[in-house]
Structure 1
Amino acid sequence: MKISKISVTAITVCALTILSGCSGMSQRDKNTAVGAGVGAVGGAVLTGGSGIGTAGGAAVGGVIGNQVGK
């Protein structure tokens, strides 16, 4: 599969935009975001891609990430 130059540029711009959005976050906010992301992936894997499992995992992971280092 060949990836076009436009696709690579679009992905790069999106990645830089997302990363720059995290620059003003506190450490606790970053932990919450990472926890939600990891929880969403874990919930999706455990439930076979169910939307409810993904959302539930994100919620639980966000709470855990928020409480880490408190």
Structure 2
Amino acid sequence: MNLFRPVALAGALLVAACGNTTADRALTGGAIGAGAGLAVGAVTGATLLEGAVIGGALGAAAGALTTKDQVNLGKPAWR
């Protein structure tokens, strides 16, 4: 089970960002990462808060560090 956590977080990072601006990608990446982190935390025995915080931080970082040419899943729902 310990191997599952990094694999799941890496998978979450691959789809963690969408939007045209850095802020959009960071916000959506954080939200998607937090959701994925909750799921990983529930499966691996970590607390849900730990999973959400780690996943949210990694997702937000992935979103902020990408460009719209690297990852663009479309216009965010709030735009």
User: TM-score normalized by structure 1?
Assistant: 0.59
Could you tell me which residue of structure 2 aligns to residue 66 of structure 1? 64
Provide the rounded CA distance (Å) in 1 between the counterparts of 2:56 and 2:29.
7
- Structure whose residues are more often helix by fraction: 1
**Which residue identity does 2:63 align to in structure 1?**
G
Q: RMSD between aligned alpha carbons?
A: 1.8
| Structure 1 segments unaligned to the other structure (5+ residues) | 1-25
Question: Equivalent residue of 1:68, what SS?
Answer: coil
Gaps (5+ residues) in structure 2? 1-19, 69-79
Where in structure 2 are the equivalents of 1:1-70 lying within 5 Å?
A: 27-48=21-42, 50-69=48-67
The Cα of 1:68 is off from its aligned counterpart by: 1.1
Please report how far the alpha carbon of residue 54 of structure 1 lies from its aligned counterpart in structure 2 after TM superposition. 0.5
Kindly name which structure, 1 or 2, has the bigger radius of gyration based on alpha carbons.
1
- Say which structure, 1 or 2, has more relative contact order (CA 8 Å, 6+ apart): 2
- Structure 2 length as normaliser, TM-score? 0.52
Return the letter of the residue paired with 2:32. V
